[in-house]
Amino acid sequence: MMHIGSAVWTGLTVMTMLLLAQWDVGCWGMTLNSIPLRPASLRPFRASVGASLQRHKRNWVWNQFFVLEEYTGDEPLYVGKLHSDVDKGEGKVKYVLNGEGATSIFTIDENTGDIHATKRLDREEQAYYTLRAQARDRATNLPVEPESEFVIKVQDINDNEPKFLDGPYNAQVPEMSPVGTSVVEVKATDADDPTYGNSARVVYSILEGQPYFSVEPKTGIVRTALPNMDREARDQYLLVIQAKDMVGQMGGLSGTTSVTVMLTDVNDNPPRFSRKSYQFAVPESLPVASVVAKIKALDSDIGPNAEMDYRIIEGDGLGVFRVAPDKDTQEGVITLQKNLDFETKSSYTLKIEASNRNIDPRFLSQGPFSDTAMVRLTVENVDEPPIFSSPLSKMVVSEAAKVGTIIGTVSALDPDSTNSPIRYSIDRNTDLERFFNIEATTGVISTAKPLDREANAVHNVTILAIESLDPSQVGKGVALITVMDINDNAPVFAIEYETFLCESVVPGQVIETISAVDKDEPPSGHRFFFSLTAETAGNMNFTLRDNKDNTASILTKRGGFQRREQSMYRLPVLIVDSGTPALSSTNTLSIRVCDCDPDGTPQSCGTEAFTLSAGLSTGALVAILACIITLLVLVLLIVTMRRRKKEPLILDEDRDVRENIVRYDDEGGGEEDTEAFDMVALRNLNVVRDSKARRDVTPEVPTLYCSRPPPYKITPDNGIFREFIWDRLKDADVDPSAPPYDSLQTYAFEGSGSVAESLSSLDSLSTDSEQNYDYLSDWGPRFRKLADLYGHADSSNIFSS
């Protein structure tokens, strides 16, 4: 049989022993309910305590050990001892320990059964450990007794201070709250064992925040401690709350938290105007609904408690002004309701009241939550433009009115005290065609042009009224002129009718129903009368029937109409309106004779259709026409390609002077050289041409223009030049390789005024020229190059370069 005891208790003080004894006695009842007891034969072994601790009415609970937490000694902490009745002290039995913390936290001496704790324990981490003990035969390692289970409980000490897990706190309470109003509840927790001693018993106290607030020691509820705390004076308080364990006794641990208390607003302050009277100036030209002025009553409250209403309670401006609150600024905005007139009234006085919109009945005893102020509004005189007696004048005129007919009169006055004379005019942007005139001094409106209601039935004319003393002051009015209709338009066909008449028609058959339109608009509506003209009334082909509903029917008088005899009939129709005087017009109805199918649908009409039916069909004719067009296109393409395939035109280089250009950088012969050349020689050549003209060129006579007439006439000495021109023209006309168009060749000819005479190089074309240019050497260094070019020694090489 195995016993468990705690033998080494002699080192404990007497007080500790008594406390442990009391703790053991208190735990027995709990252990009896939660842990099964060992059989009565397993007696506890407490040799050191003595008989004074022995109970006779119930057995010891041997399967529990206790160990203090947070042990700080250097040696392992002795927990207790295991002993078996089998162990006779001969060393044949060894003790084995298993379970939670075995070998890592708790060790056992296998010879003696002593149990020690080798590590520091913390009850808040783990409150108890469950282990199993067994006695085994040292030689065979076989159990000599069944395995027994026991518990080691960690005994609590006060090693944890209270903590506010939800702190810091923020709270609100209305201002002016009575004493004892609950603000917030704070809560502190202590990790120590609440079932042992006072380690987890907490009390609350306030360290900062007095005398405004207090805290209940047991519950932690924060309450107001002073009455009439005013938000407008101070709106925030910072409290420091302490929680201390051991019921607040000396040596207990403590923790603190902060509580921020905000005082919320209540409507405890009435609005007040900063002044009792205000004065503002208002120009008389201020438009209606404009802001005149703004006033504001001050309220120390905020939010809805500061919302105000304004109203005019007295004064001569009722109906002229109104006041309304600005929801954003809580100002009283005074606006204009009617037009002002300095000449009529120059000042107004208003008594305006400002009152709180949301009133707290608790504070009505403090007085009315409203205030009043006087507002004086002075009207300033402004030079105003003229004002029409009627901004819109409606007038009526007949479209038959003659030019100069008076339509109506407008009038305007200067509202100012100066009473300036008024001059009237028409804004021509509203009367672009100038249909109307207005008399400048009287405002009489008359017609300036004939009117046409059908073109414009209503004229919206702007009338300008201008002060004579100050033309910058312009008033505007509108004259709405309505043009009344007269019967000045004859009725005509409503549409362009296209009437078909079948050859199979029978007498009395309706072939068309016609109607009419009239641009006029008589008050009683249109009424048209239809008839045939007097010339056609007795015809044998058609007749007309007036349907009395502004339509008429065209009927046949006979049958047997044939396209071969007559394919088209023209029937004059007379239409008369009901106006005064009545107007009429003759409209011609074209009737075509057609071949129709049995249903009366026209198939082919007129002589063209008859001719086509005698020969080829329409499809065949379209095909033939398409073939003809195709052949024409092919012929044009062939002609064009043949012209493009001609040999390129190559001119004789020996005879084409255009390809030989000689450039000279020397100066000219004189001022008259800049007077251009005479082209008359090209138009009036006195040489008869009898050469045969080219057939492939259409001769044209070009018209040559000169900027100014030549200062001289062609003399007989220019015969060589004319001979050259005619030779070139004859060669071009008979040359088959020349281009198939006329070309214009320009030749320069010097003026006759130069002392050096002509410097033309045309004579150099012939190497047999007898002209001598040696005199150029005598003219100085400027003509030396020409002398070298045209001298006898080099005359054969003029064009060699």
- Average the pLDDT over 110-122 and give the result: 84
The C-alpha angle with vertex 116 and arms to 114 and 120, in degrees rounded to 5, equals 175
User: What does residue 466 show for φ and ψ, rounded to 5 degrees?
Assistant: -120, 135
Helix (H, G, I), strand (E, B) or coil at 64: strand
**319-328, 605-614, 683-692, 732-741 — which one is most confidently predicted on average?**
319-328
Lookup: tokens for 328: 């954003």
Q: How far is CA 191 from CA 19, 153, 259, 287, 433, in A?
A: 22, 17, 23, 78, 103
- Average the pLDDT over 373-380 and give the result: 95
SS3 sequence of 439-503: CCCCCEEEECCCCCCCCCCEEEEEEEEEECCCCCCEEEEEEEEEEECCCCCCCEECCCCCEEEEC
774 vs 517, residue with greater confidence? 517
Q: What is the pLDDT of residue 407?
A: 94
Strand partners, 444: 409
- Model confidence at 126, in pLDDT bands (50, 70, 90)? confident
- Kindly report the CATH class assigned to 64-155: mainly beta
CATH 2.60.40.60 in the chain is located at 64-155, 163-264, 272-380, 387-484, 492-603
Would the pLDDT of 597 be above 70? yes
Q: What is the pLDDT of residue 229?
A: 92
Q: What is the pLDDT of residue 769?
A: 53
Q: What is the pLDDT of residue 798?
A: 37
Reported pTM: 0.44
Cα separation of 562 and 655, whole Å? 79
For 163-264, CATH number out of 3.40.50.10420, 3.40.640.10, 3.40.50.300, 2.60.40.60 equals 2.60.40.60
- Average the pLDDT over 413-436 and give the result: 91
- Give which of 547, 551, 393, 388 is closest to 475, Cα–Cα: 388
Reported as a single tens digit per residue, the pLDDT across 135-149 is 888 888 888 888 888
Cα separation of 219 and 185, whole Å? 8
User: What does residue 535 show for φ and ψ, rounded to 5 degrees?
Assistant: -70, -30
**Architecture field, domain 387-484:** Sandwich (2.60)
For 492-603, CATH number out of 3.40.50.720, 3.40.50.620, 2.60.40.60, 3.30.930.10 equals 2.60.40.60
Q: What is the pLDDT of residue 487?
A: 87
Q: What percent of the chain has pLDDT over 70?
A: 75
For 272-380, CATH number out of 2.60.40.60, 3.50.50.60, 3.10.20.600, 3.40.50.2020 equals 2.60.40.60
Reported as a single tens digit per residue, the pLDDT across 12-42 is 332 333 333 333 333 322 222 233 333 333 3
Q: What is the pLDDT of residue 320?
A: 94
Asked whether the beta carbons of 78 and 125 are under 8 A apart, the reply is no
Strand partners, 251: none
